[in-house]
Amino acid sequence: MAGIRRVARIDLEALASNLAGASASFLDARADAYGHNLALVGPVARDAGIVRVLVSDDRDAALASAAGLTPVVGRLAPPDVGDLAGAAAYGLESGGRPVMTLVGEVIAVKHVGAGAGVSYGYTYRTPAPTHLALVGLGYADGVPRIAGGRAHVAIDGRALPLVGRIAMDQFVVDCGDDPVGLGDEVALFGSGSVVPSAGEWAGWTTRDALAVTAGLGPRIHREARA
């Protein structure tokens, strides 16, 4: 059923490349491969030489088995993990290729004058006449509310600030003089020109990058990058 687009694109080539560089045989895939979708990640990991995967629960263990991997189930990592590939596999450490790109869409654009309050509490007021874009992702999707006023996003190759409070289902971007288009794709983090990294989001939201991706919600559709 088509609705508002909320997509985590999973770059399986980047995953394979990161794993080839890591030369590990054991992958940390807890929390549904840290939100990357174990059903997508599993087969690629196996082809890249991964033999065992650490998973959180029986559901994910079944996904791992289906991909031809040996699951190790448990919220506590066993003491003998050895060369466990984690953040680097997902491209969440410097130098790695980001595997996940999180995108939303512009669902409204409006022109406002200077001094316009934005979102709850009017914590941001436009310093000058500008265009505001509404994006259909919010904290229910795992975009941390404390990123309001700190983060930026990329729309059509432009880095633009996320302003005002993030709401449950939506946030606002200040686009300046040049408006963006209705339906335009908004990249929060991942790969692409001027797209922030999950690591930057980690800094804006005082958590680590794996917690950023693992915290993404169920309305976000995970799909393999074409």
Partner 1 sequence: MTGPTLILDLAGFRENVRTLAAMVAPARTMLAVKADAYGHGAAEFATAALEGGADSLAVLEVPAGIRLREVGFTVPLFAWLHGRDTDFAAAITADIDLGVSSMVELERIAAAVRTAGSPASVHLKIDTGLHRNGASPEDWPALVSAARDAEREGLVRVVALWSHLADASPADDEAALAEFRAAVAVAAGLGVEPPLLHLAASSAGIREPEARLGLVRFGIAAYGISPFDDVDGRGLGLRPVMTFRAPVLALEDGVAVLAAGSGDGVAPVTAADGAAVLLEGVRRPVLGVDVDTMTVGVDATAGGRVTPGDVATVFGPGDDGEPTAEEWAAWAGTIGDEIVARASRRAARVIRR
Write out the residues near partner 1 by the rule CB under 8 A: 1-5, 30-32, 34-35, 56-57, 59, 74-76, 105, 107-108, 110-112, 116-122, 132, 134, 136, 138-140, 142, 144-146, 164, 167-170, 172, 182-183, 206-208, 210-211, 214-215, 217-219
Which residue's CB is nearer to partner 1, number 2 or number 226?
Answer: 2
Angle, helices 38-47/12-22, rounded to nearest 10 degrees = 50
> Which residue lies nearer to partner 1 by CB, 111 or 224?
111
| Residue placing its CB nearer to partner 1 in the complex, 142 or 190 | 142
b/e per residue, 200-221, with b = 16+ CB within 10 A?
A: bbbbbbeeebbbbbbbbeeebe
Considering beta carbons, is residue 37 or 170 the nearer one to partner 1?
170
Q: How far is the CB of 167 from partner 1 (least distance, A)?
A: 8
User: Closest distance between partner 1 and the C-beta of residue 88, in Å?
Assistant: 15
Which helix (H) or strand (E) segment is 14 a member of? helix 12-22
CB atoms within 10 A of CB 127: 10
Which helix (H) or strand (E) covers residue 204, if one does? helix 198-204
Other Cβ atoms less than 10 A from the Cβ of 151: the count is 23
Gap between the Cα atoms of 123 and 163, Å rounded: 8
Nearest distance from residue 132's CB to partner 1, in Å? 6
Q: How far is the CB of 54 from partner 1 (least distance, A)?
A: 9
Q: How far apart are CA 182 and CA 169, in angstroms?
A: 17
- Please say which residue, 47 or 178, places its beta carbon nearer to partner 1: 178
